[in-house]
Amino acid sequence: MRVSASLSLAVLALTSFTAVSQTPAASKAQLATPQVSQVAQTPPMGWNSWNYFAGRVDDKGIRAAADQVVATGMKDAGYVYVNIDDTWEGERDANGVLHTNAKFPDMKALADYVHSKGLKIGIYSSPGSKTCGGYAGSLGHEEQDARMYAEWGIDYLKYDLCSFIGDVLEKQAPNDKAAQMRLMIAAYDKMNKALKATGRPIVFSFCQYGWDAVWEWGPSVGANLWRTTGDVTPEWDRIYAIVSQQAGLEAYAGPGHWNDPDMLEVGNGKLTLAENRTHFTMWAMLAAPLLAGNDLPNMKPEIKAILTNRDVIAIDQDSLGKQGARIYSDGEVEVWTRPLAGGAVAIAVVDAGDSRYSTHPFHLNLHKLGLTGKQTGKDLWTGKTVELTDNMPLELASHDVLLVRVDKPKGHVQ
């Protein structure tokens, strides 16, 4: 039995529609000038400890994750970063030097191990005095910490607002949201400058939940990626809500600076195969960082197949670096397109509901996508050639997706 979206090609209706061009609002938005970045020219790919292991991460688990990234073929598929999230931090000594806790006896040795596998290593901190997990943050020690990361050989920093809210924002600027936002931006810029001063290329990942439209100013203070929302969870409703919140942000992403709808939950919780597939598809359409967060040593083959689907990864990593946009929706069915290098286009149709059947199927309106006439493409989840025609009925399983790449689209793609 097919596990992917069931695509009904049987009825080719002849109705034609008036083309409706929907210019995404964000294309008119002001763009911050990104700083020149040597890193993250495509969205970072890797694995992060938080979504599955949370506080249970340790040296052994990171080594096992690195081993598995290689053994499962994920490395060959493009996954590079092995990122330690919160709960590695110990205490600061009299000189202000932050030590690791007992779970991480030797961070330099761990970084060397991850590097020896041809991978890169990431770490986590906060501009506040404490991280979200209550461990030591970088407040007042930014340069010192950045130098230490560089000495260890760290390649990626996730910087999570957390206690900076109570430590600084609410203390220094009570009741003045605009002043709080300026303090927040300055804190991120402080770490940006500290990282740059080390001379080591380090991906700088902002985690402040999208506050103050971070996409407008993040790149100007060194963000290579910035969270656009609160936390993801391994639940369809949350994942779909996050996808919806990305519509309109496409103008802000590009090589070196990406919107981050949070890390992947593929393989976590009780997500169905369709939901895992749609989650991964939409992160690729969104040019999102692909940071797996599952239990790699116990990964099921069908989850590995999703995470290592080269065709879908190629959409995410497309060299044009243009994020996809939601072109239209019809009730609970949404149609997104992503322009790709060489004039190609990816089309994703998501059924976020559970009530469209062959009696009243969704009909694909190619005109709205700027396409004219029959389009031949590849269904990236079945690997088969498909033909898309205007007004064709599509019957998708609940929470499933159709993802088609058209290399030579006819028309003027949105």
Contact positions vs ligand GAL (CB under 6 A) = 50, 85-86, 131-133, 160, 162, 207, 231
Q: Measured from the CB atom, is 131 or 268 closer to ligand GAL?
A: 131
Q: Measured from the CB atom, is 87 or 414 closer to ligand GAL?
A: 87
Q: Measured from the CB atom, is 86 or 145 closer to ligand GAL?
A: 86
| Alpha carbon distance 374, 335 (integer Å) | 17
Q: Closest distance between ligand GAL and the C-beta of residue 410, in Å? A: 42
Query: Using CB atoms, what's the residue nearest to ligand GAL?
Result: 132
Q: Closest distance between ligand GAL and the C-beta of residue 226, in Å? A: 12
Contacts of 347 by beta carbon, 8 Å cutoff, 6+ apart:
335, 336, 337, 369, 377, 388, 402, 403, 404, 405, 406
Q: Closest distance between ligand GAL and the C-beta of residue 52, in Å? A: 12
Structure tokens at 249: 């942000």
Compute the CA torsion angle 312, 292, 44, 128 (nearest 10 deg). 150
Q: Contact at 8 Å (CB) between 45 and 83?
A: no
Q: Contact at 8 Å (CB) between 351 and 397?
A: yes
Q: Contact at 8 Å (CB) between 289 and 45?
A: yes
Q: Measured from the CB atom, is 4 or 208 closer to ligand GAL?
A: 208
Q: Measured from the CB atom, is 162 or 327 closer to ligand GAL?
A: 162
Question: Any catalytic annotation for residue 145?
Answer: no
- 305 — alpha (psi -120 to 50), left (phi > 0) or beta? alpha
Question: Any catalytic annotation for residue 160?
Answer: yes
| Alpha carbon distance 234, 262 (integer Å) | 11
Catalytic residue among 58, 85, 86, 160: 160
| Alpha carbon distance 273, 290 (integer Å) | 18
Q: Closest distance between ligand GAL and the C-beta of residue 213, in Å? A: 18
Element (H, E) at 326: strand 325-330
Give every strand in the sheet of 325-330, ordered side by side.
325-330, 333-339, 345-351, 401-406, 375-379, 385-388
Q: Closest distance between ligand GAL and the C-beta of residue 131, in Å? A: 6
| Alpha carbon distance 190, 143 (integer Å) | 8
Please count the CA atoms within 13 angstroms of the CA of 70 that sit on its side-chain side. Answer: 13
| Alpha carbon distance 157, 265 (integer Å) | 20
Q: Measured from the CB atom, is 133 or 248 closer to ligand GAL?
A: 133
Q: Closest distance between ligand GAL and the C-beta of residue 136, in Å? A: 13
Evaluated on CA atoms 276, 277, 279, 283, the torsion sign reads positive
Q: Measured from the CB atom, is 50 or 164 closer to ligand GAL?
A: 50
| Alpha carbon distance 30, 252 (integer Å) | 9
Could you give the residue numbers annotated as active site? 160, 231
